[in-house]
């Protein structure tokens, strides 16, 4: 069974440019998470979906970040415009609601 798939693995962009990350969760998993991981830190939740509904986006900086999960499957996370401080690893995870989340390999974003 395929795990959580994220793309791209790495992205380098100039500040003020837009960027988008894509996540394909494990089939059948209704819950999808986007986490931000800064160097040397634990993951911090950005947004959580139950099917297509964003049920917790309180930590998402809505002035520049947006996310969507159309049809309750794949999800995209967008930053526009990117800032230097957005350089981090963006992790996607999914869960079928049994207390275990499965993580993708992450997208490492570098803003220069």
Partner 1 sequence: AQSVTQLDSQVPVFEEAPVELRCNYSSSVSVYLFWYVQYPNQGLQLLLKYLSGSTLVKGINGFEAEFNKSQTSFHLRKPSVHISDTAEYFCAVSPPVMGDKIIFGKGTRLHILP
Note the residues at the interface with partner 1 (CB under 8 A): 4, 30-31, 33, 35, 40-45, 48, 50, 56, 91, 93, 95, 97-106, 108
For partner 1, the closer CB: 19 or 35: 35
Smallest gap from residue 67 Cβ to partner 1 (A): 15
Cβ proximity to partner 1: between 82 and 91 the closer is 91
Q: Report in angstroms how near the CB of residue 63 gets to partner 1 at its nearest.
A: 22
**12 or 16: whose CB is closer to partner 1?**
12
Dihedral angle over CA of 23, 63, 80, 90, nearest 10: -30
CA distance 105 to 86: 18
* Cα–Cα–Cα angle for 71, 90, 87, rounded to 5 degrees: 135
CB of 56 to partner 1, least distance (A): 6
Beta-carbon contacts of 30 under 8 Å, excluding residues fewer than 6 positions away, are 50, 51, 72, 95, 96, 97
């Amino acid at each position: 069974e395929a795990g959580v798939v994220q793309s791209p693995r790495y992205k380098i962009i100039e500040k003020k440019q837009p960027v988008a990350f894509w996540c394909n969760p494990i089939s059948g998993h209704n819950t999808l998470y986007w986490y931000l991981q800064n160097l040397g830190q634990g993951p911090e939740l950005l947004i959580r979906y139950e099917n297509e509904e964003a049920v917790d986006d309180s930590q998402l900086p809505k002035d520049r970040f947006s996310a969507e999960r159309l049809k309750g499957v794949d999800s995209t996370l967008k930053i526009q415009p990117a800032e230097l401080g957005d350089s981090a690893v963006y992790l996607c995870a999914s869960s079928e609601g049994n207390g275990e989340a499965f993580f993708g390999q992450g997208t490492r974003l570098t803003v220069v």
